[in-house]
Amino acid sequence: MTTRALILGCAGRTLSSQEAAFFSDVAPWGFILFKRNIGTPDEVRALTDALRATVGRADAPILIDQEGGRVQRLGPPHWPAYPAGGRFGRLDGSAAAIAHLGARLMAHDLASVGINVDCAPVLDVPVVGAHDVIGDRAYGTSPATVAEIGRAVAEGLMAGGVLPVMKHIPGHGRAGCDSHKGLPVVEADLATLTAQDFAPFRALADLPLAMSAHVVFTALDPENPATQSALVIDRVIRTAIGFDGLLMTDDLSMEALQGSFRARTEACFAAGVDVGLHCNGDMDEMRGVAEGAPVLAGDSLRRALAALARLPAEAGAFDVREARARFEAALSLAA
């Protein structure tokens, strides 16, 4: 089966016959789950099994946004609540170790229901006056802190058999609006962007996956958001940052992007992204996205295979109960 360079969502907790047929025909590289898809652990596991069955690949990536705080798709009563990333940035010298442990616990939660990719760590560096769409999702306000804790989170996830996705490359921290609702335009000069916004991504450029920012950087390309800018992808993401992993778009249904779904998808691939991401499960939108997305091939296929190769055959021994007690005690002491 030929794989399409797409990651798609579905509408509910089970697949409709229409969705199953569509996914079987389109053969996306992977899938993404949201709160609307989450029931009991058994229901989530059944859904991830069903999604993989439509494309006939047992290792098909299934993604989720599980950062902690306000961005957490698995939560009570079936899964524990985790703190927002900003909580770790306020800890003392143990911040990275505690963040690593929390990510390892998250990986256990995700892997147990068939989810093998987490859209974390958030490597954006917020600045005063920026929109709070990032806010406490950020690990701190200095590039060094964000990079250190981001590295710990990525390694904790991978230790538990879950691939990390660093986001939102090359940086969303300066955005003055929420890219879900409009197109942010950042007017900082290139020297400032390089020293502040790009730095955490450069420090973690060896990670296997990254998600693009729907943000215009006027110092680089005043016309196009990074997701649709060949200048930003080639000169910044691939060259200055040095990222040669799989680059996926942020959600193609966000209002920062304009035009038909086919047109906006084609613009992303023309700019150099590897995989398109569409999240809301709307069948009409997905059809347009599928029309604009190519087969996964060439360097994009190489990067996709290299990412999946980073998944361990099995996670190492891990005492979940002891680790959770240790994580909660560390947060309590820090508070």
180 among known catalytic residues = yes
Torsion, Cα of 228, 134, 178, 254 (10° steps): 50
Strand partners, 63: 32, 117
SS3 for 238-269 is HHHCCCCCEEEEEECCCCCCCCCHHHHHHHHH
CA–CA gap between residue 288 and residue 298 (Å, rounded): 23
Measured CA to CA, the distance from residue 239 to residue 157 in angstroms comes to 26
Q: 245 exposed, middle or buried (CB, 10 Å; 0-12, 13-18, 19+)? A: buried
Question: Which of 118, 197, 250, 274 is labelled catalytic?
Answer: 250
- Please identify which of the residues 42, 49, 180, 299 carries the catalytic annotation: 180
- Burial class of 332 by CB neighbour count within 10 A (0 to 12, 13 to 18, 19+): exposed
How many Å apart are CA 218 and CA 323, to the nearest integer? Answer: 46
Are the C-beta atoms of 274 and 247 separated by less than 8 Å? yes
132 belongs to the catalytic site? no
Phi, psi for 71 (deg, rounded to 5):
-115, 85
Indicate which residues carry an active-site annotation. 180, 250
